[in-house]
């Protein structure tokens, strides 16, 4: 059985990061080992939240794993709580990631703005982590902040998206998938690029009337699970996008506000 490591926070309530990644990875028949980067009461889109930074625990935990001879078949990182954690994850890539799939979701913003607590400097640090990854899955906001280029909300063309993808892989990673891409008002999908083969792909669905918090984490968890199980990036991205759409359909009539995340549990 495959065992992977996922590094991201625990937001106790709000269906994102580890509370999403753990069940999704497990449901794909993969053992999910976790390294929590922080414990929050709720994710940072709630009005109030507590934040327990776990940076100091990361190296001692990794030392035990190293001493115990523990290995992983892949590493997937999501929301990271501090710049220091980026250096620690780079150490984890070096110590546990050689020859293994290193997958980075640079979760730090959406809709043209960074989440609370992040700044442009953090985005530049995240670009260093993306450089060391095999595959990255930013949304357009995260990509623009990492590259230091203006964010364009809509009305862009394929050349704009392709240029961003090429610039992302020029950071150092082999493949990149941009999520939340659409060339028409009713279109939303993901645009991918493999710098080794030079191939692009675009997969889209009909855009849902509402967008929900945490869908990036759902996408990344499903995509990484399928990749671990041997699917190509193009197949894994399309399956992940379909899963997100089905999760939104399972949520849309809920009373809960959008920052409570999507009902992915109904789709698993
Ligand atoms: O869904 C991304 C995410 C993960 N973790 C925390 C967040 C967010 C987005 O706001 O606040 C703590």
Per-residue HEC secondary structure of 78-134 comes to: CCCCCHHHHHHHHHHHHHHCCCCEEEECCCCEECCEECCCCCHHHHHHHHHHHHCCC
* 101 closest CA partner among 194, 230, 201: 230
Question: Which pTM value belongs to this model?
Answer: 0.98
- For residues 178 and 204, is the Cβ–Cβ distance under 8 A? no
Pocket test for ligand 1, best of 11, 12, 13, 40 (most atoms within 8 A of CB): 11
Atom of ligand 1 nearest to the CA of 213: 1
Say how far apart CA 255 and CA 258 lie, in whole Å: 9
The two structure tokens encoding residue 160: 């704009």
Report the separation in Å between the CA atom of 120 and the middle of ligand 1, taken as the mean of its atom positions.
17
C-alpha distances in angstroms, 196 versus 94, 176, 204, 244?
Answer: 22, 11, 23, 28
**pLDDT tens, N- to C-terminus, the chain (268 residues):** 999 999 999 999 999 999 999 999 999 999 999 999 999 999 999 999 999 999 999 999 999 999 999 999 999 999 998 999 999 999 999 999 999 999 999 999 999 999 999 999 999 999 999 999 999 999 999 999 999 999 999 999 999 999 999 999 999 999 999 999 999 999 999 999 999 999 999 999 999 999 999 999 999 999 999 999 999 999 999 999 999 999 999 999 998 888 999 999 999 9
**In this predicted structure, what is the pLDDT of residue 262?**
97
Report the separation in Å between the CA atom of 181 and the middle of ligand 1, taken as the mean of its atom positions.
20
**In this predicted structure, what is the pLDDT of residue 164?**
98
Q: Which residue reads 């991201």 in tokens?
A: 8
Say how far apart CA 150 and CA 171 lie, in whole Å: 17
Pocket test for ligand 1, best of 7, 14, 17 (most atoms within 8 A of CB): 17
- Protein residue with its CA nearest to atom 1 in ligand 1: 214
Atom of ligand 1 nearest to the CA of 45: 10
Instruction: Return the HEC string of 226-257.
Output: HHHCCCCHHHHHHHHHHHHHHHHHCCCCCCCC
Ligand 1 cavity residues, CB under 6 Å: 9, 11, 16-17, 40, 43-45, 79, 107, 115, 214, 216-217
Report the separation in Å between the CA atom of 37 and the middle of ligand 1, taken as the mean of its atom positions.
12
**In this predicted structure, what is the pLDDT of residue 203?**
97
- For residues 74 and 102, is the Cβ–Cβ distance under 8 A? yes
Determine what percent of the chain falls in helix, strand and coil, rounding each to the nearest 5: 40, 25, 35
Instruction: Kindly tell me the burial class for residue 267, based on how many C-beta atoms sit within 10 Å of its own C-beta (0-12, 13-18, 19 or more).
Output: buried
Phi, psi of 202 (to 5 degrees): -135, 125
User: Is the backbone of residue 198 left (phi > 0), alpha (psi -120 to 50) or beta?
Assistant: left
Report the separation in Å between the CA atom of 47 and the middle of ligand 1, taken as the mean of its atom positions.
13
Domains of the chain as residue ranges with CATH? 3-261 (3.40.1190.20)
13, 16, 21, 26: CA torsion to nearest 10: 40
**In this predicted structure, what is the pLDDT of residue 258?**
86
Q: Within 13 Å, how many C-alpha atoms sit on residue 220's CB side?
A: 31
Report the separation in Å between the CA atom of 78 and the middle of ligand 1, taken as the mean of its atom positions.
9
Report the separation in Å between the CA atom of 182 and the middle of ligand 1, taken as the mean of its atom positions.
23
**In this predicted structure, what is the pLDDT of residue 256?**
85
Tell how far CA 195 is from the center of its chain. 19
């Amino acid at each position: 059985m495959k065992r992977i490591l996922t590094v991201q926070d625990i937001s106790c309530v709000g269906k994102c990061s580890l509370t999403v990644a753990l069940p999704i990875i497990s449901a794909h028949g993969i053992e999910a080992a976790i390294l929590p980067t922080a414990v929050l009461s709720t994710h940072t889109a709630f009005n109030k939240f507590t934040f327990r930074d776990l940076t100091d625990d990361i190296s001692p935990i990794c030392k035990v794993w190293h001493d115990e001879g523990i290995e992983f078949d892949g590493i997937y990182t999501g929301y990271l709580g501090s710049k220091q954690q980026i250096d620690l994850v780079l150490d984890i890539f070096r110590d546990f990631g050689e020859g293994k799939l290193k997958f980075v979701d640079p979760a730090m913003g959406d809709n043209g703005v960074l989440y609370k607590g992040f700044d442009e400097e953090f985005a530049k640090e995240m670009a260093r982590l993306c450089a060391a990854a095999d595959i990255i899955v930013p949304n357009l906001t995260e990509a623009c902040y990492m590259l230091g280029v203006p964010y364009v909300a809509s009305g862009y063309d394929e050349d704009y998206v392709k240029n961003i993808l090429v610039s992302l892989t020029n950071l150092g990673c082999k493949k990149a998938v941009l999520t939340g891409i659409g060339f028409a008002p009713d279109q939303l999908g993901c645009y991918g690029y493999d710098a080794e083969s030079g191939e692009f792909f675009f997969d889209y669905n009909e855009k849902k009337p509402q967008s929900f918090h945490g869908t990036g984490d759902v996408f990344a968890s499903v995509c990484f699970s399928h990749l671990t199980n041997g699917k190509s990036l193009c197949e894994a991205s399309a399956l992940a996008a379909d899963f997100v759409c089905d999760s939104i359909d399972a949520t849309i009539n809920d009373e809960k506000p959008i920052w409570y995340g999507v009902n992915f549990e109904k789709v698993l």
